[in-house]
Amino acid sequence: MIKDLTKGSPMKLILSFGIPLLFGYLFQQLYNVVDTAIVGKTLGGAALASVGATGSINFLVVGFCAGVCGGFAIPVAQQFGAGDHRELRRYVAGGAWLCVLFGAVLTAATVLFCRDILTAMNTPADIYERSYLYIVTIFAGLPAYFLYNFAAGVLRAMGDSRTPVIWLIAASLVNIVLDVVFILTFHMDVFGAAFATVLSQLLAGTGCLIRMCRGFPILKMEREDWRWDWGRMGNLCLMGLPMGLQYSITAIGSVMIQAAVNGLGTMYVTAVTAASKVSMFVCCTFDAMGSTMATYGGQNVGAAKWERLHQGLRSCVILGAIYSVVALGALYFLADPVNMLFLDAESAHLLPLARQYLITGVLFFFPLSLVNIVRFMIQGMGFSPLATLAGVLEMAARGGVSCLVPVFGFTAACFASPAAWVLADLFLVPAYFFCCRRLMTRPTASRRTALGCRKRQAAA
């Protein structure tokens, strides 16, 4: 189902488009949550720590994949909003070429240098080999991540936020079954958890690709659409690389914090792993809001409907504030039970540490909501390089706090991400208004061109 976000109530559109996205992100997180829960409950705290010690580098690399593919989808959303289906197809084809290229290079590089990365992160010796086995399997499966994120990004750019959810649900169920089979039946240890995740991601990507190719007549490719065009490729890279680098730059700060926590010992790594999994699951709402605003901003800029940008942003910020309060209230009382989902009985003494890490982050959920909403809105508007600067500020904040961990201990690590979110917001909010002014002052001919494309498409 194609959804046009350029008409109707912004609040209703954001909810109707974002709720399926939310379920998609929840099920995507279910991959990691199930892996972590089964690993922690069946293989013990050391195995859980071995997976958790790779969390930040996992986010860095996989986040780059998701960011690049999300950036490739922005021109697709803009062309859809403008009604230029021919140009839309050519951007889809160009994005596919670039995903193949980037996927091959990134997979080879990460697999080749995996041990060097873990060594640089101060991975504890007692969990090093297990950590390597887990993360190198994920890295080898990066093409599956590119496939899913690009196909899902194209579908969302055209307003279809349901299909990716349907396939993620199917993939999540498969992932659970494979986890049980690989870990409990075939005793494949952490490799089984990673392998199950990759196979499940491949299933979701294949399903979205089939839907993209067969379910949308406007995506029926012609030979001319596949031609390599340097101008179009440059525009895709201008959108995709900053978004990918934004994830990676942000994750570099997380890697710094992870290395600092690794230096505190396996006990702290285990506690942070459990709390981080809970936090990532709860934060899926903010991820859905961000992706919604990227599509909303892209379509409305393509349609030259500038007045709807403020309306949509205001509606989403209200939703973010409400959810932040609800999440704080729920996790204040449920922190220990949900953390125990990832800890075995022998690790129960780590609950105070896990609770401290989780609650500290939840207290700053509203700044986190602004980071996702405003940054992705800016990217959808076509200002990806500017939005990337927020990631640099997040990295700087996390890096600065990581230097304080040896002095102030675990408490400093708990405040690393909140400091990053606040600093990013101080840049993003003014940057959004700057971008709006830039759009408003564009030549009127540009606006007429965008509107004209849409009218011609409607007439056809």
Higher pLDDT, 325 or 49: 325
pLDDT recorded at residue 306: 84
Closest by CA to 450, choosing from 343, 352, 304, is 304
Out of 141-155, 189-203, 243-257, 267-281, least confident range: 243-257
Task: Give me the mean pLDDT over the 61-85 stretch.
Answer: 86
In a domain? residue 71:
yes
pLDDT recorded at residue 95: 93
Distance in angstroms (rounded) separating the CA atoms of residues 311 and 306: 10
Out of 10-19, 199-208, 446-455, least confident range: 446-455
Q: Is the pLDDT of residue 459 over 80?
A: no
Higher pLDDT, 273 or 212: 212
Number of domains forming the structure of the chain: 1
Out of 426-430, 439-443, 455-459, least confident range: 455-459
pLDDT-derived band of residue 422, with 50, 70 and 90 as boundaries?
very high
pLDDT recorded at residue 242: 79
Q: Is the pLDDT of residue 455 over 60?
A: no
pLDDT-derived band of residue 448, with 50, 70 and 90 as boundaries?
very low
Q: Is the pLDDT of residue 55 over 90?
A: no
Of 17-26, 55-64, 294-303, 312-321, the range with the highest mean pLDDT is 312-321
For 160, which DSSP code? -
Q: Is the pLDDT of residue 209 over 60?
A: yes
Q: Is the pLDDT of residue 347 over 70?
A: yes
pLDDT recorded at residue 2: 63
Q: What is the chain's alpha carbon radius of gyration, rounded to the nearest angstrom?
A: 22
Task: Give me the mean pLDDT over the 193-220 stretch.
Answer: 90
- Percent of the chain residues topping a pLDDT of 90: 35
User: Residue holding tokens 């690389």?
Assistant: 241
pLDDT-derived band of residue 444, with 50, 70 and 90 as boundaries?
very low
In a domain? residue 2:
no
| pTM score | 0.73
Residue count of the chain: 460
> Do residues 405 and 322 make contact, with C-beta atoms less than 8 angstroms apart?
no
pLDDT-derived band of residue 256, with 50, 70 and 90 as boundaries?
confident
- Percent of the chain residues topping a pLDDT of 70: 93
pLDDT-derived band of residue 442, with 50, 70 and 90 as boundaries?
low
Of 96-110, 266-280, 298-312, the range with the highest mean pLDDT is 96-110
pLDDT recorded at residue 456: 43
pLDDT recorded at residue 265: 82
Return all residues near 212 (Cβ < 8 A) that are at least 6 apart: 151, 154, 155, 219
Q: What's the burial of 116, exposed, middle or buried (CB within 10 Å: 0-12/13-18/19+)?
A: exposed
In a domain? residue 4:
no
Q: Is 280 left (phi over 0), alpha (psi -120 to 50) or beta?
A: alpha
Task: Give me the mean pLDDT over the 68-96 stretch.
Answer: 88
Cβ neighbours, 10 Å, residue 149: 26
Task: Give me the mean pLDDT over the 31-59 stretch.
Answer: 76
Q: Is the pLDDT of residue 244 over 50?
A: yes
117-158 tens-digit pLDDT: 899 888 888 889 999 999 999 999 999 999 999 999 999 888
Q: Is the pLDDT of residue 188 over 70?
A: yes
280-337 tens-digit pLDDT: 889 989 989 998 998 898 888 888 888 899 999 999 999 999 999 999 999 999 988 9
Task: Give me the mean pLDDT over the 204-213 stretch.
Answer: 92
Q: Is the pLDDT of residue 274 over 50?
A: yes
Q: Is the pLDDT of residue 223 over 80?
A: yes
Closest by CA to 46, choosing from 266, 261, 260, is 266
User: Residue holding tokens 């540490």?
Assistant: 353
Residue-averaged pLDDT of the chain: 86
Give alpha helix (H) positions in 158-217: 163-179, 189-214
Q: Is the pLDDT of residue 460 over 70?
A: no
* Residues of the domain holding 258: 10-459
